[in-house]
Amino acid sequence: MLRKIKKFISDWENQSSYIKWIVNYTKPYIPQLSLVMFLNIMVSLASIGLALIGKRMVDQASAGNTVTKVILLYVLIVLVSQAMMCIGALSAVVIYEKFAFGIRKQVYRRILDTNWLDVTKYHTGDLMTRLTTDVGIVADGISVTIPSILQLAVQLLATFCTLAVFDWKLAVFALAIAPAAALSSMWLGRILKKLQMKVQETESRYRSFIQESLSNILIVKSFRTEDYSVEKLTRLRDERLYWVLKKNRTGLAASTILSLAFQFGYVAAFAWGAVSISRNTITFGTMTVFLTLVNRIQSPIVNLAQSIPKLVSMIASAARIIEIQKLPEETSLEENIRGDQVGVRVNKISFGYGEDLVFDQASIDFKPGEFTAIVGASGIGKTTLVRLIMAFTNKAAGTIEFYNVHGDREKANASARDFISYVPQGNTLFSGTIRENIRMGRLDATEEEIMEALKGASADGFVSGLPKGVDTVIGEKGHGISEGQAQRIAIARALVRKAPFLILDEATSSLDEETELRVLEGIRSWNPAPTCLLITHRRSVLQYCDREICIENKKLGEVV
């Protein structure tokens, strides 16, 4: 029992924190939302006005009077309310777009500012689903569902009052459906939230698979796994379909029950009206009002109940966005040490991705201007050392500190990347022109600096041979150029930064020895010389290095 109460309290605390989050994001849009709500409410009131005018029309016609003026008034109200509906719908689209982009931009930025190790635990397909579908669901809830709930509530109240003026018993009777709607909404809300979470999780898996197999289409083709891929996609679709159907079945069951109650209410109002006419207690016009208003009192109740699943989806999606926003942000000290000669001291670091340590109390000093080769067996921790120096994770024990020749010091942190140039393993080019790719190294690089970087990376020759030179558009993952050419552009992107600290992680592995020699000699000739960490499996590279260090038994040490 106590556990149940605790769970209820913690569920409630979670829900209210999600709602607070939604309210916070909605605040800037209150003026626009108020306009949409005002228009929606006016449309609802106009519909009640139409019912009353309809009554007058029928009464005047059955008394043999002319109804031209009443018809004109009816048409005018219809036109005005249509215009208000259009303006309201357009404003809702604007709010949706602004709101969705506002959250998307913030969450995207948050992902970029999150500790790399924490964010890479999520599949990019999952992150994409949260950024697109989940943000879309929240934005739709804010711009469409919430204003319509308010409109429905006002419509319900106004219709009830109007109907009560004619026949209070009928008004109360028409409202009898409300407790059933409220109960089923509460029951539904709980179940639907869980189901919606499942739907979004399976959606993420489904999208992640499509994204991954399309970006690795060459592997799919090479290993002839086309059929397997389609089968896997179907399996994931089946999993998704199971939860989508389960969620919809639940929603549908509730709305069917409500709908039946609604139909019953309508028939009852009809019978009531017919009996009253036969007794001459109401006119035909009043009968028209009965039927219209009973309809308008019950449809908001049903629609309100149907808004519950949407609100639940909105809260479930907000929870998935908040989860990403809660990931630990990387630290950025912003006050960089200056100078063009920077070294780094690694002092007793211990780190492991899981329980097993990759480094245990490892220490080393990379002195300013020194060229160091880092060697070691595959999987021993070379790239991990780089990740720690680049502060892609802050979970290591021990210290990593940059220092310059003037004795200034700065702990490894995100802003230290300002003075680091990094060429990671593999193909890391973006789709776009070669110039755009190189400018990622330094956004304000001049044309001469771009050319100089291309020359330093021995890429000037092949780039100038391309019909459009640096304006040549390359595809995703460097599609359209060779691996070695892509690697040289990645090196040029690092060189254009002219950073005093250079990290090359198997950056020349696809180059022939002659080109590799030219690139490394070029870097060595810089004045002042950068501090360079060169991760390599190739012995030929060692001739350019002042020092060779290796990783063994989770420690860093000199190769002698």
**C-beta neighbour count of 463 within 10 angstroms:** 25
Nearer to ligand ATP, 36 or 507 (CB): 507
Distance CA 527, CA 523 (A): 9
Q: Are strands 547-552 and 555-558 parallel, antiparallel or unpaired?
A: antiparallel
Closest CA to 185 of 9, 14, 306, 297: 306
DSSP annotation of 530: P
Distance CA 180, CA 23 (A): 29
- Measured torsion, CA atoms of residues 55, 58, 60, 64, in degrees rounded to the nearest 10: -170
Peptide bond before 147: cis, by omega within 30 degrees of 0?
Answer: no
- The pairs formed by 231-235 with CB atoms below 8 angstroms and a separation of 24 or more are 233/206, 233/209
DSSP, residue by residue, 87-114: HHHHHHHHHHHHHHHHHHHHHHHHHHTB
Nearer to ligand ATP, 31 or 379 (CB): 379
Separation of CA 293 from chain center: 43
* Binding footprint of ligand ATP on the chain (CB under 6 A): 353, 358, 376, 378-384
Asked if 337 and 409 touch (Cβ cutoff 8 Å), the reply is yes
Q: Considering the complex, what minimum distance in angstroms separates the CB of residue 391 from ligand ATP?
A: 15
Distance CA 396, CA 393 (A): 7
Nearer to ligand ATP, 264 or 353 (CB): 353
Q: Considering the complex, what minimum distance in angstroms separates the CB of residue 41 from ligand ATP?
A: 54
Q: Considering the complex, what minimum distance in angstroms separates the CB of residue 497 from ligand ATP?
A: 22
Nearer to ligand ATP, 378 or 525 (CB): 378
Nearer to ligand ATP, 139 or 491 (CB): 491
Q: Considering the complex, what minimum distance in angstroms separates the CB of residue 440 from ligand ATP?
A: 23
Nearer to ligand ATP, 115 or 159 (CB): 115
Q: Considering the complex, what minimum distance in angstroms separates the CB of residue 477 from ligand ATP?
A: 18
Nearer to ligand ATP, 280 or 378 (CB): 378
Nearer to ligand ATP, 45 or 386 (CB): 386
Q: Considering the complex, what minimum distance in angstroms separates the CB of residue 535 from ligand ATP?
A: 7
Distance CA 402, CA 407 (A): 10
Q: Considering the complex, what minimum distance in angstroms separates the CB of residue 343 from ligand ATP?
A: 22
Nearer to ligand ATP, 115 or 202 (CB): 115
Nearer to ligand ATP, 459 or 491 (CB): 491
Nearer to ligand ATP, 354 or 467 (CB): 354
In this structure, what token pair is assigned to residue 371? 């060229």
Query: Which residues fall within 8 angstroms of residue 525, CB to CB, at 6 or more apart?
Result: none
DSSP annotation of 283: -
Determine the 3-state secondary structure of 529 from DSSP.
coil
Q: Considering the complex, what minimum distance in angstroms separates the CB of residue 550 from ligand ATP?
A: 10
Q: Which residues are paired to 549 by β-bridges? A: 374, 558
Nearer to ligand ATP, 378 or 527 (CB): 378
Helix H, strand E, coil C: the string for 17-54 is: HHHHHHHHHHHHHHHHHHHHHHHHHHHHHHHHHHHHHH
Closest CA to 308 of 185, 181, 195, 197: 185
Q: Bin 64: left if φ > 0, else alpha if -120 < ψ < 50, else beta.
A: left
Q: Considering the complex, what minimum distance in angstroms separates the CB of residue 110 from ligand ATP?
A: 20
Q: Considering the complex, what minimum distance in angstroms separates the CB of residue 506 from ligand ATP?
A: 7
Q: Considering the complex, what minimum distance in angstroms separates the CB of residue 355 from ligand ATP?
A: 11
Determine the 3-state secondary structure of 368 from DSSP.
coil
Q: Considering the complex, what minimum distance in angstroms separates the CB of residue 380 from ligand ATP?
A: 4
In this structure, what token pair is assigned to residue 541? 């590279």
Asked if 317 and 200 touch (Cβ cutoff 8 Å), the reply is yes
